[in-house]
Amino acid sequence: MAAEGKRVWEPTPDDPALIIIVDEWAELRDEARAFADSIARRGRAVAENLIAATQRPTQDAMGKGTAVRSQMDIRICLRVREKRDADLILGPGAVTAGWHAHELTRPGEFLISGPEHGTPERNRAYLLTDERIARHAAHCAPARPRLPADRPDTPQSPPGPPQPGERPSPGSHDDERPAPETVLWEALSGAGPDGVSVGDLEAACGRTRRWVYYRLREHAAAGRAVQVRRGYWRAARPSDGRPGPGPKDGRPPGRPGRPGRRMPDGGGE
């Protein structure tokens, strides 16, 4: 990148973004910590994402004199036994501000702190068994983007950003599941007063954050959607002083298309 004068990495199928997952961070060797520190300080601009898991992120566990801990903007805290552990994970003063991780009781409950999660809100994770992972992988495999390695005889150019009015291409399994635009609108329409997060919209539509934001801006410009707070959206309502939802045929308003179809059996949980 330095040789080409680039500052920001644009992921492509040939040069994808990297997600580096480290379980039991405290067990890293000293030489590995040096690389992890470099990734934490410089990796974001070049599409390197670092996910670290550890029991207690103390200074000794995270590494003395490293930038890793200070660079971690998103922190997930499961149940802890002592209040001070919540402050250790989520930051000084977290317990005083209402982040009571020591009061979590149900299996899989956690608190998440990040740019889009500024208030203490309980969440709950699913237990993913090996059988369920295999089932979901088999269901999603047909829709996986085909990389150049899958089609050695066919040249493939990097995908560009989604364009307004873009529709699924033929052969993209549009005959088996609702179009992403339809899923997005249904999620916005079904959101409560607090809205639905952009992350949930990404997961529901199976599209990138950039794609989701393109569509949200389209709906907002047309007065069909409103941003409740940072990272949370819902469909506009008459009380907002904006046009209400569009047709009741399952299509996103203002966009031509066919009504959404039901997911096949076993399509999601």
Kindly report the CATH number assigned to the domain that includes residue 70: 3.40.50.300
Report the share of the chain in percent with pLDDT over 90.
9
Which whole-number Å values give the CA distances from 247 to 187, 189, 254, in the listed order? 15, 12, 9
Percent of the chain with pLDDT over 70: 74
Q: What is the pLDDT of residue 165?
A: 47
Same domain, 40 and 114: yes
Which of 66, 98, 124 lies at the terminal end of a domain, its last residue?
124
pLDDT for the residue numbered 257:
42
CA distance 150 to 157: 14
Question: Is 195 in the same domain as 258?
Answer: yes
d(Cα 89, Cα 81) in Å, to the nearest integer?
13
Q: Are residues 185 and 259 in the same domain?
A: yes
Contacts of 256 (CB under 8 A, 6+ apart): none
* Residue 5 lies inside a defined structural domain of this protein: no
In a domain, 257, yes or no: yes
Whether 23 shows a pLDDT value over 50: the answer reads yes
User: Phi first, then psi: what are they for 25, rounded to 5°?
Assistant: -55, -35
At residue 71 the predicted structure's pLDDT band, cuts being 50, 70 and 90, is confident
pLDDT at position 235 is: 92
Domain assignment present for 55: yes
| Across 186-194, average pLDDT | 89
In this prediction, residues 28-51 reach a mean pLDDT of: 83
How many structural domains are present in the chain?
A: 2
Q: What is the mean pLDDT of the chain?
A: 76
Q: What is this structure's pTM?
A: 0.46
Is the confidence at residue 160, as pLDDT, over 50?
A: no
Q: Which of 71-75, 85-89, 112-116, 218-222 has the highest mean pLDDT?
A: 218-222
Say if 152 falls within a structural domain.
no
Average pLDDT of the residues in 136-141: 85
Average of pLDDT values for 141-145?
73
Q: Would you give the DSSP letter of residue 123?
A: E
Task: Please report which confidence band the pLDDT of residue 262 belongs to, taking 50, 70 and 90 as the band edges.
Answer: very low
Asked if 113 and 184 sit in the same domain, the reply is no
The answer on 179 and 109 residing in a single domain is no
Kindly calculate the radius of gyration of the chain based on its CA atoms and give it in whole angstroms: 22
**Per the domain annotation, does 157 fall within a domain?**
no
Report yes or no on 186 lying in a domain.
Answer: yes
Final residue before a domain boundary, out of 94, 124, 154: 124
Note whether 119 and 184 are same-domain residues. no
Q: Which domain holds residue 31?
A: 18-124
